[in-house]
Each structure stands twice: as C-alpha cells, then as structure tokens.
Amino acid sequence: MSGRRWLGVGCALSTLLAAPAASAFCRTTTCDPNNPKQDCRIEGNCVVSGKPLAWRSSCVTVGVQQMGSPANGFSYDDVAGVVQSAFDTWMSARCGGQPPSIDVQLLGPVECGLSEYNSDAGNANVVLFRDGPWPYIGAQNALGLTTTRFDTQTGDLWDADIEINGENSSLSVGDPITGDDLLSVLTHEAGHFLGLSHSSDASATMRPVYDPTRDGSSFRSLDDDDVAGICAVYPPERVPATTSCENRHGFSAQCGDDQPAKNESKGCSIGGPSAATPGATPGLLGLVALLALRGVRRKRSPCAEPAHRVA
C-alpha cells in the first residue's frame, strides 16, 4: 500500500515527557492526554507531566510469534532477523562514546499470538502480525501498534508488545524495497518499546509519518534526534534497579489462559512496593488520513487501563 503512514506510539495511561529545548524527541509518560480524567501539561509536541516510562533493568527480552506472517510470506526466521536488526540499531547508538544502559535480547519463538499482560501468570514481550482482520476500528491504515504496560506511579515498564498490520499493508523485507519496509516500521516501533514517543524532527526515525516512496530505508537508521532520545532514557551513567532480564511474573511463551494457574489474586492490583494498577499505552503507524485517531480506545485486559492510540 502506497502513501504516507502514521508510525506507532506506546499504550495505557502514558504520554510524553518534554525533551531538551534543542531537541524534538518526546518521551512517553504516565500522563495520557486522551484520558479525560487526566490533566496533562503539554509543551510543544511533548507531554511534560507524569513519570517518564523506562525499563528499570539493564536488560529486557523480546520474542517473535512463531507463525511469522503467512499472509506476507514471512517465516519466523524472516521476522526474527528483522526484529534483531531493528533493536540492534538502537543498541548501537552512542551516548558520549558509550552505549545506552539497556540491552535487548531476542528470545526464540513465542507461541502466544496475543498482546496481553498477566498479573497472575508468566509474560513475554512479543512482536506479532495481525494477518486476519485488523481489530482496531478506525485504524485500518495503521502499519504497527506498540502497547506498553507500566507502573502508573513510577513509570517502570512492565511489558510491551508490537503488533504489525499484516492485512492492510504491503510489507517488504530486504532490498529492494517493494512496499512498506518492515525494518523501517520495526525500528520505529522499537523506539516506542523502549519508551520514546513521536518526534517533531522531520528527519527522525521517531517522526509519526512514513512515506515509502520518499523515506525508503531512512527509518532503518537513527537521526541525531533519535540518538539524543535513547540516551536521555538510558544514559550510560544510569544505575539500573536490576540486571535481570526476567519478565515480570516470569517468562512464558504461552498466553495466560494456556498456562497453569498460580495461587495469586486475579485482581488488578499488582504486588510490589507501589502496588499500582498497570497502565497501558498504544503506538501506531498509519496513513495521514488517520488524524482523527486521537482518542480511539479499547480494552487490553481486565487489568489494563483503556488503551489510546496517539497519532
């Protein structure tokens, strides 16, 4: 599908944190301007109220749904290679000569084909394709959607999933690019996964619009503004709260309903120092015609806040 596309932004109570005056990047925060119950302060294109989102550990894992994308002819191996390249691009950024203080490790195939967060079962951060009907009304032209779940009091990220629209897209892997470049889409969505929102910099990979006829492979690499963003979220001098790569409540390649039940409460209150209810925020990639997407909502899980697409 040709034409300009909106790129993804994260999911639930989160919004954006102001960047330095000289930069255009925005961080996703716990304040959601699409939630009428929240009064978010916005400066420029960035939300500057709430807690900024980030993974508290020095390392996080991501898996790829084992089916790949049959509709696009992509095997698991095809997709896994592109996912690895997308995250490697962010990990290769240099912050004053040093890498960001976060590492992303690619796991093997994941059985679960849902974007979900389980408070009483294992979890996985998953990249998956929606080859059937794209379930998000009003976003049929979206290329990708990143959903993050987090502690609403601290901004600590708990879970993140990237969904790619395999039905309404003409995706391309490798060179030459013959449609919407999957590596470009996933590199952008990886930025949301790591805690960044959209940038107003016209050259940034985190800008909200991708035009395959104009941008080609330009989203595969980072602009200076993208580098400034990832270095602000994970500066080299950051002291991570943990060095564990373990998913919250443990890793499982299975969906929550397919896992053995744990003897834990099924309520929405999450244990831990803050006992916070998780938030959720969605990221998205679609056509310019989707300007009206702001405020579209859906439920992620019984424990998730309403998710919002921020175009």
CA distance 161 to 81: 17
Q: Report CA dihedral (141, 55, 112, 63) to the nearest 10 degrees.
A: 90
- Flag whether 21 is in a domain: yes
> What does the pLDDT read at residue 80?
96
68 φψ region: left (φ > 0), alpha (ψ -120 to 50), beta (else):
left
Rounded mean pLDDT, 156-166 = 93
Q: Is 230 exposed, middle or buried (0-12, 13-18, 19+ CB in 10 A)?
A: buried
- Flag whether 146 is in a domain: yes
- Flag whether 270 is in a domain: no
Contacts of 171 (CB under 8 A, 6+ apart): 69, 72, 74, 164, 179, 180, 181, 182, 185
> What does the pLDDT read at residue 150?
92
CATH code where residue 41 lies: 3.40.390.10
Report percent pLDDT > 70 for the chain: 76
Lowest-confidence region among 15-24, 73-82, 213-222: 15-24
- Flag whether 272 is in a domain: no
Instruction: Tell me which residue has tokens 């930025």.
Output: 191
Question: Could you count the other beta carbons within 10 Å of the beta carbon of residue 61?
Answer: 16
How large is the angle between the packed helices 182-193 and 224-233, nearest 10 degrees?
A: 30
- Flag whether 138 is in a domain: yes
Number of compact structural domains in the chain: 1
Per-residue pLDDT tens for 84-135?
A: 999 999 999 999 999 999 999 999 899 999 999 998 899 999 999 999 888 8
Helices (H), 157-301: 182-193, 212-215, 224-233
Report which of residues 128 and 179 the model is more confident about: 128
- Flag whether 269 is in a domain: no
Report percent pLDDT > 90 for the chain: 50
Kindly tell me if the per-residue pLDDT of 16 is higher than 70. Answer: no
- Flag whether 264 is in a domain: no
Full domain range(s) for residue 51: 5-258+277-308
Closest CA to 64 of 110, 33, 15: 110
Q: Report CA dihedral (128, 140, 221, 149) to the nearest 10 degrees.
A: -50
**pTM value surpassing 0.85:** no
Band of pLDDT at residue 303, cut at 50, 70 and 90: very low
Band of pLDDT at residue 17, cut at 50, 70 and 90: very low
- Flag whether 271 is in a domain: no
